[in-house]
Amino acid sequence: MVFFVFTLNPVFIGIVTIDYFIRATMKVKYSPIRVIAIQIANVLKLHKNLINQAQKVFASRLGFLCAFTALVLIVLGHPSGAISIAGILLILSTLDSVFNFCVGCLIYNYLVYPFYKNK
């Protein structure tokens, strides 16, 4: 997303969109960015932090929606809208990966889960 924000090359946001689509459809093990992240975590010997998969799938769906919207906007010639949405997604992804603060997970816990916990 950083490359997209600085270059406005739709290929970069396209890659992010595809990765989020893979994660959102519960095929997480096939996510190329996840594979790279796992390799980096293994090399750096970082501690694993397991999180409920339902929360992460929901967050991935929101990420896919943002990435896809940014892709559509850049293709349609609206770079400022695409940069804004990609920038927000970049901030949210950074919060999750660096600070372990998943906004999509919070949204799931407070706005989605209460309506589906008995189903």
Residue-wise pLDDT tens digits, 36-70: 888 888 898 887 777 778 888 899 999 999 999 99
What pLDDT, on a 0 to 100 scale, did the predictor assign at position 69? 98
Q: Are 13 and 70 in contact (CB under 8 A)?
A: yes
pLDDT at 86 over 90: yes
At residue 35 the predicted structure's pLDDT band, cuts being 50, 70 and 90, is: confident
- Number of folded domains that form the chain: 1
pLDDT at 4 over 90: yes
- Residue-range definition of the domain harbouring residue 45: 2-116
Question: What is the value of pTM for the model shown?
Answer: 0.84
Left (φ > 0), alpha (ψ -120 to 50) or beta: where does 8 sit? Answer: left
